[in-house]
Amino acid sequence: MDTNPTPTNWLLDSQLAPHIDAYTDFLKRGGYATTTLNRYMLCLAHLAYWMRQHRCDVEELDEAAVSRFLDEHLPGCECPEPVCRNRRDLSAACGHLLRVLRGKDVIAEPAAKISAINEELQNFDAYMHRVRGLAEGTRQDRVRIVRRLLVARFSDQPVVISTLQPADVRQLFATEFERCDSASHASALASALRAYFRYRTTCGDQVGPLLGVIASPAHWSLAALPRSLTDEEIERLLASFTPDLPSPRRGYAMLRCALDLGLRSSEIGKLALADIDWQAGTLRLRCTKSRREDILPLPPATGEAIAEHLRFERPESTNPAVFVRHIAPRDVPIGPDAVRRVIRDAYRRTGLTHGRTHALRHSLARHLVESGGSIKEVADVLRHRSLNTSLIYAKVDSPRLQAVALPWPGSTT
């Protein structure tokens, strides 16, 4: 029986004690704050106390053991005070511990268990990648939609397409429309399901009845104007990155990349230090939507914004990415969602209602057209594989459209 039952003693007297230094080093390398580190150590002390009570050796720790600790022990926990019972902190601390123990080869890697649905989706994704040549983002969106259909119909059962009924497809549409009933979402649903069922035809399945119930919303090509920002709105957006923000130089540099170069969110997130040739004034894009490598001229304003971020705001990191995380875990690049969030927050600060990063690409195209650039030049700057994709920007060239407009029948001008 412990004479001084404190969390520190629980941890120091446990099987986890030899791994405390490696654990703290792991958190410090990730840039975690001291308060977070101390909180996680209290969580490990709770886990150590539970391991002792249940005679669980450190070599037996895995996701299943952590699940028992969190799901079975925690709700009725009667461990002596003081003890941490915050499930979120306990889950995070245990997850880090498993990574540290696996890094030291103390415990084995988790056994790969692929469900029938995951295996089906992996095969579908491989087909889209190798046969259709689709970009990663497109594949992820389609896999996410098809997953909802398969989970709703098969759950944890084997995937048997012959048992899938048209009513199952209609039900998915009904459920998705309750969540979001926009035309763009309906088009995404239809495209994803058609792509999946066509893939199943290559596997020998008869999916004609399933394809027959998929209806796309009415869509007229080039019917709408591309939504872009005015010059005044762009200035407000750039000015919104004030010094009182957590990382104003990083956000400003991201915005300049989107405005000046027309980069997509995923392309901004994947920029690496080696992609910038400061002497030549160029920027290399390696992971583009069209899966090709492009070299773009680096405008002075954009280069200056990136340089300011690198010199004064980018945290120390061994990661080669231009934009890395500022909060733990550090030393990893940001993702496209982080770029979108930064730009979306800038929209909100300036009171703009656009809300989409793609409007910045439209703004660049509008500026090129209004400056006398051709549609071919727009296609080159935005890196469109087909010139038809850029034709919509002809509609924003008001001066040239006025020059070719015919008089209204019956008018005097």
Digit-coded pLDDT (tens) for 209-220: 999 989 877 766
Mean pLDDT of 61-84: 88
Which of 241-245, 262-266, 320-324 is predicted with the least confidence, judged by mean pLDDT? 262-266
User: DSSP letters of 233-284?
Assistant: HHHHHHHT--TTSSSHHHHHHHHHHHHHH---HHHHHT-BGGGEETTTTEEE
Confidence of residue 294 (pLDDT cuts 50, 70, 90): confident
Instruction: Check residue 170 and give its pLDDT.
Output: 93
For residue 297, the surrounding DSSP H or E stretch is strand 294-297
At 349-405, the pLDDT tens digits run 999 876 677 888 888 878 777 777 777 777 777 777 766 666 666 555 556 555 555
Mean pLDDT of 4-30: 86
**Token code pair at residue 360:** 């910045």
Residue 250 has pLDDT above 70, yes or no: yes
Instruction: Check residue 91 and give its pLDDT.
Output: 93
Instruction: Check residue 196 and give its pLDDT.
Output: 96
Instruction: Check residue 75 and give its pLDDT.
Output: 87
Residue 2 has pLDDT above 60, yes or no: no
Instruction: Check residue 225 and give its pLDDT.
Output: 61
**Token code pair at residue 250:** 């990083």
Write down all domains in the chain, each with its CATH number in brackets: 7-103 (no CATH), 116-212 (1.10.150), 231-400 (1.10.443.10)
Instruction: Compute CA 323 distance to the chain's CA centroid, rounded to the nearest angstrom.
Output: 14
Helices 300-312 + 248-261 axis angle, to 10: 160
Could you tell me if 187 and 217 are in contact, meaning their C-beta atoms sit under 8 angstroms apart? yes
Q: Rounded distance, CA 164 to CA 150, Å? A: 9
Residue 1 has pLDDT above 60, yes or no: no
At 268-293, the pLDDT tens digits run 999 999 999 999 999 998 866 656 68
Mean pLDDT of 173-177: 88
Question: Model-level pTM?
Answer: 0.67
Instruction: Check residue 395 and give its pLDDT.
Output: 58
User: DSSP letters of 70-86?
Assistant: IIIIGGG--PPSS----
Q: Identify the residue with better confidence: 238 or 135.
A: 238
Instruction: Check residue 3 and give its pLDDT.
Output: 44
CA angle in degrees (0–180, nearest 5) for 46-47-53: 95
**Token code pair at residue 267:** 């392309």
Mean pLDDT of 204-212: 92
Residue 330 has pLDDT above 70, yes or no: yes
Instruction: Check residue 322 and give its pLDDT.
Output: 94
Instruction: Check residue 113 and give its pLDDT.
Output: 58
Instruction: Check residue 123 and give its pLDDT.
Output: 95
Name the residue type at position 186: A
Q: Rounded distance, CA 48 to CA 128, Å? A: 46
Residue 254 has pLDDT above 80, yes or no: yes
Percent of the residues in the chain that have a pLDDT greater than 70, as a whole number = 87
Q: Rounded distance, CA 351 to CA 143, Å? A: 35
User: DSSP letters of 324-391?
Assistant: B-SSSS-SSB--HHHHHHHHHHHHHHHT-S---THHHHHHHHHHHHHTT--HHHHHHHHT-SSGGGGG
Q: Rounded distance, CA 262 to CA 271, Å? A: 14
Say how many C-beta atoms besides its own lie within 10 A of residue 44's C-beta: 24
Confidence of residue 255 (pLDDT cuts 50, 70, 90): very high
Which of 64-73, 124-133, 182-191, 252-261 is predicted with the least confidence, judged by mean pLDDT? 182-191
- Average model confidence (pLDDT) for the chain? 85
Q: Rounded distance, CA 30 to CA 218, Å? A: 49
Q: Rounded distance, CA 241 to CA 230, Å? A: 18
